[in-house]
Structure 1
Amino acid sequence: MASMPAEKPETRPYHHGDLRSALLAAAERTLRDKGTAASLSLRELARDIGVSHAAPGRHFKDKQALLNALALVGYDRMAEVLEAADDPGLPLQDRLTTLARAYLGFAIDNAELLELMYARKHEPDAAEQIGVAIDRTVGALERAIAAAQQRGEIVDGDPEHLTLVVGTALHGLASFAITGKFTTEAAMGAVPELVHHLLYGLKPR
């Protein structure tokens, strides 16, 4: 009697309809759930979405490449939020307030992703791509400031430096909301006063 062929060990499928997007989505979920990029593993992500442990290598050579790609997803998403909110036709104070609230909303809703975005921008292997992405986000604020300078609405100086000052204040407010020192409603309500003080200072007039 002919022997029966040995059963092949069960293996996970190698292919996936859109493996790259699935890996990024799974990575973002893990990041939100566990709160740190250190918790991410290509092997575990492959297991979670039901593909072989080697499959992610077709899109990401290592974990660092995955983190860079996830940071870029975040910057693209932030850029879309800011571009949708921006209105160059508004008076400067209203325009900055609108942009600030858009940034604040993104930061609160994507706290873990935002931390990764800021961390990865200093990585040499991600510098060029992320530099372009940053220009769509921080660049939107810098261009608003530069345009206001040209109209004589704010002081002269390096627009990049002034953007850093404004961005630091906004990120500080976002950090208070993320860590629970402010409620989201309180943080959003504080934006107009913050922008007012940035534009006019604290001295009595």
Structure 2
Amino acid sequence: MVKTARPRGRPPKDADPAPMEDVLQAALHSFATHGFNGVSVRTLNRELGVSHNLLHQRYGSKEGIWRTAVDWGFGQLTEKLSAADDESAPPLDRLRTFIRTFIHVSAEHPELLRLMNIEGGEPSDRLDYISERFIEPQMARFQQIWDELAKRGETKDVPQEVMYFMITSGGGAMFASRALTERLFTSRPLEPEHYAAYADQFTDLIMGALKD
């Protein structure tokens, strides 16, 4: 059998398309940095080193890329929150686990808070999509725990909106605002080996304030 000679030079870009996880991570980072309107499919293709029509072939449109990237990013968060929640545990333990898990994932994926800071500024179909698909189901889970603790009188009566922004924005800001953190405190707090300790410290602070 005569072997066909392999063409010289680099293979065409479509011959070795970028792995889906790399594509979605790059897309999520771009949308979280520049906003939906500030991102072009052409730029994403160039950053990934793929052909100019690969993303359109895979996802159909910029909106399709955005939704798939959001599903991938926020899906990881909700999966980890669900996996960590032991519904048979005491409510205080469940609350502690919920907060700690959220903070740890926020440290690993700061682009989620960056994206919410952009999308949360104005009403839009994209904000509705994230809220209805990811945020509101987790708020319902949190509220169930919170109501049980209130009924038992085990925590202070703190408005839901205060708790929401204290945990989501307060807990993740150090990682979402990386440049500011490095300027003020060096990059040491941002190193992955410190994520677990930070999540514990933040959770202890919140839990202590709620019970005092």
TM-score, structure 1 as length reference: 0.67
Secondary structure of 2:141's aligned partner = helix
> Residue 173 of structure 1 corresponds to which residue in structure 2?
171
Conserved? CA contact 2:18–2:48, under 8 Å = no
Conserved? CA contact 2:150–2:156, under 8 Å = yes
Secondary structure of 2:98's aligned partner = helix
Q: What is the Cα deviation at residue 14 of structure 1?
A: 5.8
> Residue 90 of structure 1 corresponds to which residue in structure 2?
89
Structure with higher Rg: it is 1
- Structure 2: tracts of 5 or more residues without a match: 1-9
Q: What is the Cα deviation at residue 101 of structure 1?
A: 0.7
Secondary structure of 1:66's aligned partner = helix
1:1-205 to 2 correspondence within 5 Å? 23-28=23-28, 31=30, 36-37=33-34, 40-58=39-57, 59-62=59-62, 64-120=63-119, 124-130=124-130, 131-149=132-150, 153=154, 162-170=159-167, 171-176=169-174, 179=177, 180=181, 183=189, 184=194, 185-198=197-210, 200-201=211-212
Q: Structure 1 residues 69 and 118 mapped into 2: Cα distance closer, same or farther (>3 Å)?
A: farther
C-alpha distance in structure 1 between counterparts of 2:162 and 2:153, whole Å:
19
Q: What is the Cα deviation at residue 107 of structure 1?
A: 0.9
Secondary structure of 2:52's aligned partner = coil
Greater CA drift, 73-82 or 129-138? 129-138
Conserved? CA contact 1:46–1:52, under 8 Å = yes
- Aligned amino acid, residue 163 of structure 1: Q
Conserved? CA contact 2:30–2:39, under 8 Å = yes
Conserved? CA contact 2:17–2:50, under 8 Å = no
TM-score, structure 2 as length reference: 0.65
The total of aligned residue pairs comes to 183
Q: What is the Cα-based RMSD across aligned positions, in Å?
A: 3.7
Q: Structure 1 residues 178 and 133 mapped into 2: Cα distance closer, same or farther (>3 Å)?
A: closer
Q: Structure 1 residues 164 and 176 mapped into 2: Cα distance closer, same or farther (>3 Å)?
A: same
Q: Which one scores higher on RCO, CA 8 angstroms, separation ≥ 6?
A: 2
> Residue 5 of structure 2 corresponds to which residue in structure 1?
none
- Aligned amino acid, residue 173 of structure 2: S
Q: What is the Cα deviation at residue 106 of structure 1?
A: 0.9
Conserved? CA contact 2:73–2:112, under 8 Å = yes
- Aligned amino acid, residue 159 of structure 2: L
Q: Percent same amino acid among aligned pairs?
A: 22
